[in-house]
């Protein structure tokens, strides 16, 4: 008995695949301006979803009231700090422009204590006095080759800041929509993952959610708490430009550098200016703020998924270069999700039969 041969229409398959590819590329091209805002909103909603559910229970089960309150909280946490940063940068940038335009108005202190430094103290003091005797023009001539590069960098960062504000606005809009329809969106994503990879796809979506919550709670919340407390200490101690320093401190905390990179120079400046009382207060406060992450971060990370610190640091730096300031949040999440999925896939394989020591001996032989 001869079975019928199943023939494939190759041109039909090729044109079908080409049409699907063209539609996919066209769709991505159309929604490209909204992708980062939607991804950011998704991370925020996933991380804060339990809080929204608790608010809904407290508000007699009214979802729209909980969505309004959560949106207002996001405005307080994102929009207002960014607006404060922009206004502070504009206000504090005027003195710097004035100094750059008239370098002769730059008054530099005479550091007599440089002579007390062993071996190199006299050389440092002599070089510093040469700059003082030459006035601000001598100092500007030293930094003149770097002015153009620095100005170009600030222009690029200003563009990133504008893009960041746009994505922040989109994040608020998409967050409100996801808060109101979160269950339906999550169900659709899980259905799509199951269609792609059956039960493994569903498990991947759940692991991705855990990784997002771990980064949001363990990194962003810890950095936010440390920077706010450090900024309060700077403002109370009377440190100039406390708002800008607080924002820089937040970036340092997200990058796992810590707040002490900003707080220690502020303490030195207070002692050097003769304000020993506030210098001591800020020193004690800095010890509390600097050690807070050792207590707060492990507690918060246990609520999500345990992640290597090197992975988070790489995600922060790489995300900053790839996406600008919004990459501080997207970079660690992308690497964390990828790490969790690859780790799950690797551990599904059987364990090696040979111990590591025996494997090394076999390689030596």
Alpha-carbon torsion angle 278, 297, 245, 322, nearest 10: 170
Q: What tens digit of pLDDT does each residue of 56-109 get?
A: 999 998 999 999 999 998 888 777 766 666 566 555 555 555 555 555 555 555
Rounded Cα gap, residues 244 and 182, in angstroms: 36
- Sole residue written with tokens 């001996």: 361
Cβ-Cβ contacts under 8 Å for 266 (sequence gap 6 or more):
234, 237, 239, 245, 282
Rounded Cα gap, residues 261 and 247, in angstroms: 13
Residue 107, number of CB atoms within 10 A of its CB: 9
Residue 1, number of CB atoms within 10 A of its CB: 2
> Domain boundaries in the chain?
36-345
**Closest of 215, 222, 297, 296 to residue 259, by C-alpha:** 222
Q: What tens digit of pLDDT does each residue of 131-156 get?
A: 666 555 555 555 555 544 555 555 55
Rounded Cα gap, residues 110 and 172, in angstroms: 51
Confidence of residue 301 (pLDDT cuts 50, 70, 90): low
Residue 316, number of CB atoms within 10 A of its CB: 24
H/E stretch holding 226:
helix 222-237
| More confident position, 22 or 256 | 22
Mean pLDDT, all residues of the chain: 76
H/E stretch holding 8:
none
**First-last CA distance in the chain:** 60
Lowest mean pLDDT among 265-269, 276-280, 294-298: 294-298
Instruction: Determine if the pTM surpasses 0.75.
Output: no
**Strand, helix or coil at 350?**
coil
The predicted model gives 291-311 an average pLDDT of: 71
């Amino acid at each position: 008995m001869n079975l019928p041969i199943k023939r494939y229409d190759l041109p039909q398959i090729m044109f079908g695949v080409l049409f699907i590819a063209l539609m996919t590329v066209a769709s991505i091209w159309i929604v490209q301006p909204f992708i980062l805002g939607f991804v950011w909103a998704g991370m925020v909603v996933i991380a804060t979803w339990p809080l929204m559910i608790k608010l809904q229970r407290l508000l007699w089960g009214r979802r729209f009231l909980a969505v309004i309150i959560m949106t207002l909280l996001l405005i307080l946490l994102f929009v207002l700090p960014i607006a404060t940063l922009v206004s502070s940068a504009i206000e504090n940038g005027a003195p710097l422009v004035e100094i750059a335009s008239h370098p002769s108005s730059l008054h530099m202190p005479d550091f007599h204590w440089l002579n007390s430094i062993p071996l190199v103290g006299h050389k440092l003091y002599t070089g510093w006095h040469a700059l003082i005797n030459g006035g601000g023009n001598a100092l500007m001539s030293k930094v003149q080759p770097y002015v153009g590069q620095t100005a170009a960098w600030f222009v690029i960062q200003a563009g990133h800041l504008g893009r960041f504000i746009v994505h922040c606005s989109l994040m608020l809009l998409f967050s409100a929509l996801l808060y109101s329809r979160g269950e339906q969106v999550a169900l659709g994503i899980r259905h799509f993952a199951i269609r792609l990879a059956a039960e493994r796809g569903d498990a991947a979506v759940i692991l991705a959610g855990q990784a997002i919550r771990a980064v949001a709670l363990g990194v962003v919340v810890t950095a936010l708490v440390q920077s706010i407390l450090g900024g309060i200490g700077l403002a109370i101690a009377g440190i100039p430009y406390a708002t800008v320093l607080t924002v820089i401190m937040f970036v340092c905390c997200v990058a796992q550098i810590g707040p002490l990179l900003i707080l220690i120079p502020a303490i030195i400046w207070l002692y050097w200016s003769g304000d020993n009382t506030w210098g001591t207060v800020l020193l004690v406060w800095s010890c509390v703020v600097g050690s807070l992450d050792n207590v707060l971060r492990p507690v918060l990370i246990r609520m999500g998924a345990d992640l290597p610190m090197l992975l988070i640091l790489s995600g922060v730096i790489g995300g900053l270069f790839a996406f600008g300031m919004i990459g501080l949040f997207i970079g660690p999440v992308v690497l964390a999700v990828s790490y969790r999925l690859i780790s799950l896939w690797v551990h599904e394989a059987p364990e090696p039969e040979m111990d590591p020591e025996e494997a090394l001996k076999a390689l030596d032989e």
